Structure 1
């Protein structure tokens, strides 16, 4: 499997988790915007307590990274989103800690610092992109810093119990952080379950394909032997019968010794593809590039069998779902290349509307071709019909 295929497989394996991360990231960004609007009076008041650099810098960095995290959720790469979420999460405790370096130790404020209003929001960013332990550690550190800051800046005024304030804030934030972690974990479990189901289905489909191939092979040998014997009784020994008998004996030897074809000639490859198509639909229109029959190119049997199985699945789907009156298959074999196209004029389908448990397209067509080294599958469907393109390149 090449690198591009590995990347696409990895992306597909984490689709649910990535979607949840994007949704939660946008929710966090909306939260940052709401708190910015609500805290404008507190931000202005805090500017009188600490030197001028801390308040504007904190507003820009804390809220800016929160908005950047939300914006990053529209990026196609999940790694970018995780980095943006980590930056947003880390910026909050860093700027809360820098408050102590900026405070003059003399000016007091009964209202406390504005950061104390939303440590849980920054913890949500951490929970979205981090594992549970670092996420809860981030929440604890952020809550402790801002609550101790409030206690210090309220020194001359009546104060509540610092320990009680810390535990209350932590319990309040824990509800949302735990819910976020549970949601992301559910996405991971769902992805793992889907991946396992698809792998199991692919293995089962491969086993079924091997069994069907063995049955076809046995039937082919039986037919060759019987036709040879019948030809002897009717026509006696002829050059064509001798060739047919030698072929039958060679096939019998391969069967008894367990020999498995590793390559197919162009004629044999086309016979496999045509057999797969006509097994599903005897009336199928099957066209080939006639020039290919003159070639001596050898094709891997694994590639031909995979394309034949995917071709059969595409035709079965068309027969069951497409409601079409016309179906056709075209095959093109060239040096080191095989292309097969299945067309119908049916009603088409929307890939997004296919239920997750329907694995025919995902596993039997795309999954099978993706597992084939050099294989590819492309499905184009609309109300005018469906085109399935299967390919292999050495």
Structure 2
């Protein structure tokens, strides 16, 4: 055997910890990609409570296991396993889902956990006498709070209160039905004790969720106000600049023209008029305004423009993973908001259908490269070819604005009886590749 063959090759270290971390990161990214965008305060509260309840409930289930084994010594093993799994099986799932998924899935799993615990209390009843022979309170009647907290995360307050009443009353009612020496007073005392303790924690969860929702509403209102203030400031700047132009250029041109007499216009006046027209044309999209809007401000600007026309129009936002990189000039946000507002106004004027309510909605998709805004209604619709030439609402106020906007584009699709779809796009430096990323 050669000398080289006797030397062992160096062993590579195991990479499984890194692979597990990569797998976890990919799983989290896949789940959260369905809920892209900044997390609302109310949803954050739901996820935090879901995580706490899932972990605490799982720990409580493990700690109760020895007591459950003692109380179920006369119960068939398969029935014990089914009861235990139904009562506590969704709690670890709730903890994991709260880490990687959105609030909607967390609420669904929390509801399943609450119903599972209630089902576990029911599954104890066929072997109630055997379980009650063991010392101590029946395990399913000691952890009512876990189910109530899961219900508070999953459902509306009134539904959680109904769940609390049912679960808090079950232990006393079971004792009253199963044992003749149980009095009504002891049932009431049992219910009062269980309900009082659970009601305190239920109140905490409900008010925390309400506080999160209140923060979201205030943030939305503040964003709309900021966008409205920015829009007003931009319009005031444009109005002032236009007034200066009229005073300095247009009026002076007219004055020189009036002094030139009827014998014709001088070369100087013609040149001055040409320069003035160029200046007026440049006012449409001036680069002098250096104000930039981020993603939230741009969306708020558009929402304010829509709700200024009609507050009943539904406005939905989809955000890409890198929407924070968006920087939209006010000079671009103004025409886009104007075109969108005109689309809403046209729908309100012409899309009505007798006998039913027309649904109108705006969907804004935000990415680092720009914005994609879609307005849609299910109203009367129209035939583009039949629109008179003097009707400028579509040709000038919508499509014309978007054609003149650098990086902008607009499309209108409609047919009689099939509603109208208006698509407006703006891409930074003319690029809209990133806008569709949701």
1:210 aligns with 2:235: yes
Normalising by structure 2, we get a TM-score of 0.54
Rounded Cα–Cα distance in structure 1 between residues aligned with 2:431 and 2:283 = 17
Q: CA deviation at 1:164?
A: 0.7
Aligned to 1:222: 247
Is the aligned partner of 1:272 residue 2:286?
yes
CA RMSD between the two structures: 4.5
Q: Which residue of 2 aligns with 1:169?
A: 194
Q: Of the two structures, which has the highest relative contact order with CA contacts closer than 8 Å and spacing of 6 or more? A: 1
C-alpha contact (below 8 Å) 1:116/1:150 kept by paired residues: no
Aligned-partner SS, 1:161:
helix
CA pair 69-226 structure 1, distance change in 2 beyond 3 A: same
Measure, in 2, the Cα distance between the counterparts of 1:42 and 1:278: 67
Paired position in structure 2 for 1:180: 205
Q: SS at 2:289's partner residue? A: helix
**Matched residue, 2:269:** 241
1:76, distance to aligned residue in structure 2 (A): 3.8
Shift of residue 226, structure 1, vs aligned partner: 5.5
Using a 3 Å threshold, how does the CA distance of structure 1 residues 278 and 34 change in structure 2: closer, same or farther? closer
Contiguous gaps of at least 5 residues in structure 2 = 1-32, 293-327, 337-401, 409-422
Within 2, Cα distance between the matches of 1:37 and 1:96? 17
Could you say what secondary structure the match of 1:103 adopts?
helix
- 1:103 has 2:116 as partner: no
Cα distance in structure 2, aligned partners of 1:8 and 1:338: 32
1:297 equivalent in structure 2: none
Q: Distance in 1 between matches of 2:243 and 2:333?
A: 21
Name 1:82's counterpart in structure 2.
107
Question: What is residue 380 of structure 2 aligned with on the other side?
Answer: none
Mark the CA change 1:66 to 1:107 in structure 2 (over 3 Å): closer, same or farther: closer
Give 3-state SS (helix, strand or coil) of 1:374's partner.
Answer: strand
Aligned partner of 2:425 in structure 1 is 374
Instruction: Go from structure 1 to structure 2 and tell me whether the alpha carbon gap of 1:240 and 1:135 turns closer, same or farther (over 3 Å shift).
Output: farther
Q: What is the Cα deviation at residue 37 of structure 1?
A: 2.7
**Quick one: distance in 1 between partners of 2:35 and 2:233?**
23
1:33 alignment counterpart: 58
Per-residue deviation at 1:146?
3.4
3-state SS in 2 of match to 1:48 = coil
